[in-house]
Chain A
C-alpha cells in the first residue's frame, strides 16, 4: 500500500513538472517531430534562408539584431499554429508596411520550409 501511494505521487509530480515547463506532451513527441524542429532551427538561423537572427533575438542564436521583437513565449502568443505560420509566411497581413521579409510570396522560403521554421519557432 505504501509502495503504491508513493508511485502515484511520483507520477503526479512528474506530470505537474512537465506542465510547468510548458512541455505538455513530451511523451508523444516522436523522432520525426524532433527532426523537423531541428531542421526548422537550421533554416531559421541560416543567413541565406530565414536569417531570422538579423532582426530577432532567438534562444540558441548569437549576435541577434533588434529590429523585431525577441521571439519568446511563442505558444502563449500564438496558440494557433496556423496564425504563427501565416505571420512568418507574410508579415504584411498584420502590418502592410513591415520590414519583415514576405518569405512565402517572395519565395525566400518554400511552403515546406516555412512549416519547418514555424514548428521550431512554436517551441520557443
Chain B
C-alpha cells in the first residue's frame, strides 16, 4: 500500500505541472476562442476597440468623437519631443531607428541579457538616461505623448509578442497570468472576473470590455483622466492597471514594477495578431 501511494504521488508530481501549466500557445488559443464563442458577431480584428467592440449603443458616439480625436494634439506633442535634440545631439530617433516602420507591436519583449521584460515606456526612459537626460514620469504626460507618437507610427502593424522557451521568460509570463486570474483586494475580484467571465455584462452602468485587445490602443485619452486634478486625459497602460486594482480596494503596484510588466507581458501576448491602434479614445 505504501509503495502504491508513493508511486501514485510520484506520478501526480510529474503529472500536475504538465496538466496545470499550459504553454503560452495553448493559453492563447483557448483565450481567443473563449471570446470568439462568446461574441460570435464580433470580428476578431474588432476586439481592439475595447468596450465599443461589444456595445453597439456607445459605439456610435465614440465613432463621432474619433473623427476629431482629442488625442491628436498629444501625438503632435509626442512627435516634437521625439525629434527634439538632446543636449548631446541625439534624439529618440537615435534610440528607435525603426520608428517609421513601427515598433509598438514588439512590446513588451523579453531581454535575454538581463532576463527582464522590456516595455515601450521602459525603453523611452532608458533612451533619456542613456543620453544623460532626465527620466519622464511613468504614468502620464510626456511619456504618454511620446508613446502615442510611437504607437501612431506603428498603427496597423500586428501585435507580435514572443515568449521564448526560456525559464525566466516563462516565469514572467506565468507571473502575469497569475495576476490576471488571481482574486485580490478587499472586494476579492480578479481581472478575469470582470474582463473575461463577465465581459459584455454591466457593472452598474458600465459595460465591461473583453480583455482580448485591451493593450493595443494604449496609451489612451480618457475623458475621466481629463480634469484639473487628474491630468490632460492621456495615460499609459500601467496607469489603467493601477486604477483597476484600486477599484477592488487592492493596493496598486507601481507603474513599471516587475509585477505590472509581467501582467503586460501576458495580457499583450493574448492579443497577438491584432492591430496596433493606439492612441485611442475611451470614456
Contact = CB atoms under 8 A, between A and B. Distances in A.
A65 interface: yes
Given A99-B189, A107-B186, A63 B201 contact: no
A89 B197 CA distance: 22
A23 B230 CA distance: 50
B201 A65 contact: yes
Contacts of A123: none
A107 B204 CA distance: 22
B12 interface: no
A63 B206 CA distance: 9
B198 interface: yes
B42 interface: no
A33 B89 CA distance: 77
Interface in B177-216: 186-189, 193-194, 197-198, 201-206
Contacts of B204: 51, 53-54, 63-65
Contacts of B206: 65
Interface size class of B (residues with CB under 8 A): 10 to 19
Secondary structure at the A interface, as helix, strand, loop or mixed, is: loop
Contacts of A106: 186-188
A66 B187 contact: no
A72 interface: no
B165 to A, nearest CB: 31
B187 A101 contact: yes
Contacts, number: 36
A35 interface: no
Nearest to B248: A101
A65 B203 contact: yes
A70 interface: no
Interface in B20-65: none
Contacts of A63: 204-205
Nearest to B202: A65
A67 B187 CA distance: 15
Contacts of B186: 106-108
A71 interface: no
B203 A67 contact: yes
A118 B140 CA distance: 43
A102 B201 contact: no
Nearest to B201: A67
A38 interface: no
A92 to B, nearest CB: 9
Contacts of A102: 188
Interface string A85-107: 00000000000000101100011
A66 B206 CA distance: 10
Given A106-B186, A106-B187, A107-B186, A66 B202 contact: yes
A101 B205 CA distance: 18
Contacts of A51: 204
A74 interface: no
Contact of B203 (A54, A101, A107, A108): A54
A101 B188 contact: yes
A113 to B, nearest CB: 15
A28 B250 CA distance: 44
Contacts of B202: 64-67
Given A55-B203, A102-B188, A107-B186, 20 more contacts: A51-B204, A53-B204, A54-B203, A54-B204, A63-B204, A63-B205, A64-B204, A65-B201, A65-B203, A66-B202, A67-B198, A67-B201, A67-B203, A99-B193, A99-B194, A99-B198, A101-B188, A106-B186, A106-B187, A108-B186
Interface of B: 186-189, 193-194, 197-198, 201-206
Interface of A: 51, 53-55, 63-67, 99, 101-102, 106-108
